[in-house]
């Protein structure tokens, strides 16, 4: 990589559904109480469908499930006989509608990312100790009241360095928190970069930022993967991190006490993702897991683009742009997406699949994170490590240039294409990409390549919409006509899809309860229904017949 100085040359799940807050389902099985995250439609109609079991032969034992509607004067109680296997926690996950989940010596409480993707925050109470897993910022709810239950904790555990998992750490520390902060070393480094950038965007002074970073560093306790640590020195609660494959340093957190076992997935990446190792599947056996708190971002869909598909699409788009001497503008998130994009570009450049063209990384945050990736190369997957062993840095290639100074960023707008500019932010909500967009969007010889989802209401989405009918967008107070070619590279998601989520969950032995969070209600309910269908089909195929049947519901006054 070069520092830029001069311009280079040119199913069905057994479920009882209820709106949140209207009712709940109780189950009494062998003396154990289960609170299922499902509710009853106010029509009074209870619909039950067959559910499959994880067991080879679904149990014929029937459990008594009481469906109680709340807040209705004429509410009736349905006594429903279900095969006990249909209450398998993997087939009937506790949706994020239910925020509190009991464990033998305490409870797991979802404080954030409930019925939405952002703002992850989970409190785990075991005996006399309380942990907060993640302390994220909720998009669109930045001014929400910080929950008191998140303040009264004995330790903070961070699964990775994205703001929706760490963005509220400054609020926690400002409130007087002075307990240990546990994370992988890579996560702590990325968190410092991310929080420093976030505080700067919030117009915090240099002194305030420096004071926060010093405090954060003082509390930080790096923990390697697959190493268990006694958190409080009394051998009552221990913590270990396991690879999550989402971004560098991302981890699933396993919390173990003498009486309970809890796993918080964090954000789960996709198997065979570039650069990163696959999410852990080698979970310890011999002890049940009381609660798995699992993300569900893509619980309702499958990713249909392979790495080969992504690489071919990127090659096609770039070849066409270079042929027409276009300037290619790529808005990209600094953490994860920029590095993945460099990995794919490295493949294309090293294999001579695209003509030589200057590529500029015009994102200070992206450069800092890329350097952090290089520092922690030991965490790379085998494919990337093999590249390094051959002398090929997977995040570097010929004609790759760093843009560090703002004046050099402005100079890029005066240089003719072909060239590729990677800049933040990913949804064009800020950063240096805005200046490039103002200059490039009116030019039909510009190609804007989106490499991630553009949320409703963001400038990125407005650019996509305006391109369909030659419209205009407002950027930094300027009305800009969109004449540029707009392209989208699909398949670069860093989140597991529903098949990958279910496969990850299936590797954890003896799960008693699953709490879905970090996803909207539609995604969670879709995942539950789809997962049930998958298991039903598998069980039916294995037995060459129906998985099981159940009796008709009966109703009591």
Domains annotated on the chain, with CATH: 11-87+522-557 (no CATH), 97-301+496-518 (3.60.15.10), 304-488 (3.40.50.10890)
- Give the bridge partners for 128, in sequence order: none
| 152 neighbors 130 (Cβ within 8 angstroms) | yes
Q: How far apart are CA 424 and CA 436, in angstroms?
A: 10
Which tokens go with 480? Answer: 């800009």
Closest of 182, 131, 181 to residue 154, by C-alpha: 131
Give the 3-state secondary structure of residue 406: helix
Count each helix (H run) and each strand (E run) in the chain, helices first: 14, 27
Pairing of strands 359-361, 400-402: parallel
The pLDDT averaged over each successive group of 10 residues in the chain (557 residues) is 54 32 26 27 27 30 32 30 34 52 95 90 96 90 72 98 97 97 99 96 95 98 98 94 99 97 98 97 94 95 92 98 98 97 98 97 98 98 98 97 96 96 96 97 97 91 91 95 96 95 94 92 89 58 32 23
pLDDT of res. 287: 93
pTM of structure: 0.81
What backbone phi and psi angles, to 5 degrees, belong to 33? -95, 130
pLDDT of res. 470: 76
Q: How far apart are CA 244 and CA 241, in angstroms?
A: 9
Q: How far apart are CA 31 and CA 112, in angstroms?
A: 31
- Give the bridge partners for 242, in sequence order: 252
pLDDT of res. 49: 28
Helical (H) or strand (E) element with 322: helix 307-323
In the numeric block, the tokens 């400002």 are attached to 174
pLDDT of res. 5: 52
Closest of 210, 216, 146 to residue 179, by C-alpha: 216
pLDDT of res. 99: 81
For the chain, the residue count is 557
Peptide bond into 485 cis (omega under 30): no
pLDDT of res. 530: 85
Closest of 136, 37, 144, 41 to residue 96, by C-alpha: 37
- Give the bridge partners for 221, in sequence order: 182
């Amino acid at each position: 990589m070069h520092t830029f100085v001069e311009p280079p040359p040119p199913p069905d799940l057994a479920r009882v559904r209820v709106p949140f807050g209207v009712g709940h389902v109780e189950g009494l099985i062998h003396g154990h109480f289960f609170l299922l995250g499902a509710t009853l439609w106010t029509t009074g109609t209870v619909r039950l469908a067959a559910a499959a079991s994880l067991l080879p032969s679904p149990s014929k034992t029937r459990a008594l499930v009481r469906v109680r509607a709340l807040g209705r004067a004429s509410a009736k109680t349905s006594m429903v006989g279900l095969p006990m296997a249909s209450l398998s926690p993997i087939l009937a996950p506790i949706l994020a509608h239910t925020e509190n989940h009991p464990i033998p010596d305490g409870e797991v409480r979802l404080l954030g990312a409930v019925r939405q993707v952002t703002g992850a925050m989970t409190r785990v109470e075991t005996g006399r100790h309380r942990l907060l897993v993640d302390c994220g910022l909720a998009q669109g709810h930045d001014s929400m009241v910080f929950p008191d239950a998140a303040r009264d904790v004995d330790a903070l555990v961070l699964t990775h360095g994205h703001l929706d998992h760490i963005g509220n750490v400054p609020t926690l520390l400002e409130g007087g928190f002075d307990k240990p902060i546990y994370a992988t070393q890579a996560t702590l480094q990325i968190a410092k970069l991310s929080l420093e950038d976030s505080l700067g965007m919030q117009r915090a002074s240099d002194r305030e930022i420096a004071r926060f970073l010093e405090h954060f560093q003082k509390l930080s306790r790096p923990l390697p993967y697959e190493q268990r640590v006694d958190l409080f020195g009394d051998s009552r609660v221990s913590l270990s991190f396991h690879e999550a494959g989402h971004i560098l340093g991302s981890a699933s957190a396993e919390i173990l006490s003498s009486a309970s076992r809890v796993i918080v997935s964090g954000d789960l990446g996709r198997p065979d993702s570039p650069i990163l190792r696959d999410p852990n599947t080698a979970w310890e056996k011999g002890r049940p897991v009381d609660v798995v708190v699992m993300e569900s971002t893509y619980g309702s869909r499958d990713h249909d683009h392979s790495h080969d598909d992504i690489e071919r699409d990127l090659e096609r788009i770039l070849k066409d742009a270079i042929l027409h001497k276009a300037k290619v503008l790529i808005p990209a998130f600094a953490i994860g997406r920029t590095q993945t994009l460099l990995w794919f570009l490295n493949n294309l450049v090293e294999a001579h699949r695209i003509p030589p063209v200057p590529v500029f990384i015009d994102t200070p945050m992206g450069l800092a994170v890329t350097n952090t990736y290089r520092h922690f190369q030991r965490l790379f997957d085998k494919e990337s490590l093999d590249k390094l062993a051959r002398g090929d840095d997977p995040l570097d290639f010929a004609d790759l240039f760093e843009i560090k100074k703002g004046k050099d960023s402005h100079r890029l707008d005066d240089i003719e294409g072909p060239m590729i500019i990677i800049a933040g932010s990913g949804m064009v909500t800020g950063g240096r990409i805005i200046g490039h967009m103002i200059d490039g969007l009116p030019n039909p010889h510009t190609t804007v390549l989106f490499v991630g989802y553009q949320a409703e209401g963001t400038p990125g989405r407005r650019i996509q919409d305006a391109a369909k009918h030659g419209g205009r967008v407002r950027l930094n107070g300027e009305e800009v006509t969109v004449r540029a070619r707009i392209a989208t590279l699909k398949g670069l998601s860093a989140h597991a899809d529903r098949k990958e989520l279910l496969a990850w969950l299936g590797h954890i032995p003896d799960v008693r309860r699953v709490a879905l969070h970090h996803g909207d209600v539609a995604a969670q309910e879709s995942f539950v229904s789809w997962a049930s269908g998958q298991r039903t089909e598998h069980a039916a195929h294995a037995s060459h017949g129906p998985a099981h049947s159940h009796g008709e519901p009966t109703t009591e006054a």
